[in-house]
Chains A and B, each alone.
Chain A
Amino acid sequence: MKIFSGTANPLLAGHIASELGTTVSPLEIHVFPDGEKRIRILDAVLDENVCIVQPASPPVDQNYMELFLLVDAAKRSGAKSVTVICPYLGYERQDHIFRSGEAVSLAVIRTMLEAVGVDRLLIFDPHSIKIREIFRIPVVHLSALPLFAQEIRNHSWSISDTVLVTPDMGGIRRIKLLSNALNQMPYCVIKKNRDLETGEVTAEKIEGPIRKRAIIVDDMISSGKTIVTATNLLVKRGAKEVFVFATHPIFSQDAPKVLQNSVVQKIFVTNTVAVPKEKQFPKLTVLSVAEILAGELQK
């Protein structure tokens, strides 16, 4: 197997390769003055199983186009199969028509990935578990929950004073799985509303118990507003310490500042999406999914 990396997360690709006792194969990505990219795979891939690592994080369209071109290059060079590791699948939240006249952007991405010739797709904690069903190619759905469970166990937080929190109803399945992995740790759900016109998020109600220590679990952190809104509500209802576990650190706008300045004690994310230096902050800890991905590739 040969592993290649786009420009979105070369560190993750390097970690996966070293877990497998190999290195990332070379390629050349040149950007022309007009913004077009030119890709060239520098290793022979004829009859090889090729694996391409490229999360579709911001700049999402750039990263997708680069991925499509990489797959095209591998296919046209005779690769036997192309496995794409796209731990964060950009556009995954646009999975249905919210208001008439909209695109189903995720379906467009699916069509493109299949049309360019991807044979297998590895994704991490998708926003909806139904993503696998819309693809015709095999999609392996991996999760950071085992990593989160281990980290929580390491802290030896007691079940009696800790509660898992999902900041919206959509995360209920995730929170139940984590609760099972943690000896039935109690959980609660925050009822949140999103205004489709303004994007404004409001949270008002909590269903379930509240304990001294609250652990918010989510699939991603984008602007950080959902986390801050949820944290403020939890503290108002009596929580003393709030921790956050989220798989994908998208960190758009001034999310790092917003999170660092919040009353959240610590934020755990994974390296599905690269966090550049300027977006790192003292409260942030990054856990690695490389071992999980390498394990899957070895199967």
Chain B
Amino acid sequence: MSDNFVLLTGTSNPSLACEIGKLLKTQICEPISLFSNGEIRVRIPHNMRRRHVYIIQPTSTPVNDTIMELLLMIDAAKRGSASEVIAVIPYFGYARQDRKEIARVPISASLVASTIEHAGADRILTVDIHSEQQEGFVHCPWDNVYGSYSLIPVLKEKKLANLIVASPDKGGMKRATGYAKLLGAKGLALVYKERDIAMNNASEALGMMGDVKDKNILLVDDMIDTGATLINAAQYLKNNGAKSIRAAVTHGLFSGSSLESINNSIIEEVFVTDTVMQRPEVLKNKKITVVPIAPLLAEAIKRTETGESISNDLIL
């Protein structure tokens, strides 16, 4: 199988690419270097003619640079006569700017998706895309798989009794319902949130639904950025009588002073995956458990090659 495809990685998460390579028993090619003026240079040494080329590149911080790397790698693969170029984007930068919240703003998520398609990607593979409607931004096939595939087994090992799964906002209820079912939880809870656009990223918890008194809570979300959303929700749940609070999140961005905020918060444990390359201080943090996402992506790539269904087994 490994003769038919080539795996490439940009600079955003080479260790994830290496783990995927190990699982698929194939080498990883790192084609990126920099010119002295800051321009990126791509050169792929492998023969790609009539092969499928998988480009593994979460578009995480520095997001604008990692997007450009991705576009240039897609171009190089196309011009190297790859028969199919698959953009594997475990974390999709700009995904949150997916609508016009106010007048005269771009729809950045749509713009990024369409640039990826215009550069020549034949297929996109993401993990927990912020909103699934984004698959409609492009014409090419877009497979979105879920971090729960990796997180659920680790959460099950915790054997949390009296469990309530909570979502820190309205949009996350579907995800919370899924986790609750897979973990055999007692019920669901929802914390309402209003985001003040004028204040940029600041968010505030306003109200909640569900019974959390004396319950063990698992907050689930697609990403943790500054941590404000999760921490505010956790505090709100605690104030309403929750016994313990944990969080399971697919993408751990940990921007700004988020680690300090988490350390000082009432959240006991945070489970994240390594869709985004985790810094040493995240890996060392006692509250944070980083679960590898490589098995999910390796399996998704394998199934893309063999033509097996992805939705049957990989979408939990």
Contacts and interface: CB of A to CB of B under 8 A. Distances in A.
A76 B106 contact: yes
Contacts of B43: 99, 101-102
Interface centre among A37, A70, A108, A252 (most CB of B within 10 A): A108
Interface string B189-230: 000000000001100000000000000000000000110000
Interface string A32-74: 1111111111111100000000000011111011101110110
Interface in B208-256: 225-226, 253, 255-256
Contact of A32 (B41, B79, B111, B201): B201
A77 B103 CA distance: 7
Contact of B61 (A34, A60, A68): A34
23 contacts: A32-B225, A34-B60, A35-B62, A40-B102, A58-B37, A59-B38, A62-B64, A62-B65, A69-B108, A72-B107, A91-B39, A93-B39, A94-B41, A102-B41, A105-B41, A108-B75, A108-B119, A111-B115, A115-B115, A115-B118, A199-B36, A223-B36, A250-B37
Interface residues of B, number: 55
Nearest to A44: B104
A100 B80 contact: yes
Contacts of B114: 115
Interface residues of A, number: 54
A60 B39 contact: yes
Interface string B50-71: 0000000000111111011101
B42 interface: yes
A222 B41 contact: no
A69 B111 CA distance: 7
Given A35-B62, A69-B108, A72-B111, A90 B39 contact: yes
B35 A199 contact: yes
B106 A72 contact: yes
Which secondary structure characterizes the binding site on chain B? Answer: loop
B97 A38 contact: yes
A125 B188 CA distance: 62
B72 interface: yes
A103 interface: yes
B253 A73 contact: no
Contacts, number: 156
B91 to A, nearest CB: 10
A107 interface: yes
A97 interface: yes
A104 B71 CA distance: 10
A233 B42 CA distance: 33
A112 to B, nearest CB: 5
Given A33-B201, A41-B104, A94 B44 contact: no
A61 B107 contact: no
Nearest to A77: B104
Given A69-B106, A76-B100, A105-B40, A34 B75 contact: no
Given A60-B37, A76-B106, 20 more contacts: A34-B63, A34-B93, A36-B96, A42-B104, A45-B104, A58-B38, A61-B38, A61-B69, A62-B62, A64-B68, A72-B107, A72-B108, A101-B45, A101-B48, A102-B41, A102-B79, A105-B41, A112-B71, A115-B114, A116-B111
A250 B39 CA distance: 11
B40 A61 contact: yes
Nearest to A107: B75
Given A68-B115, A90-B39, A115-B115, A102 B105 contact: no
Contact of B106 (A39, A44, A93): A39
Contacts of A34: 60-61, 63, 93, 225, 253, 255
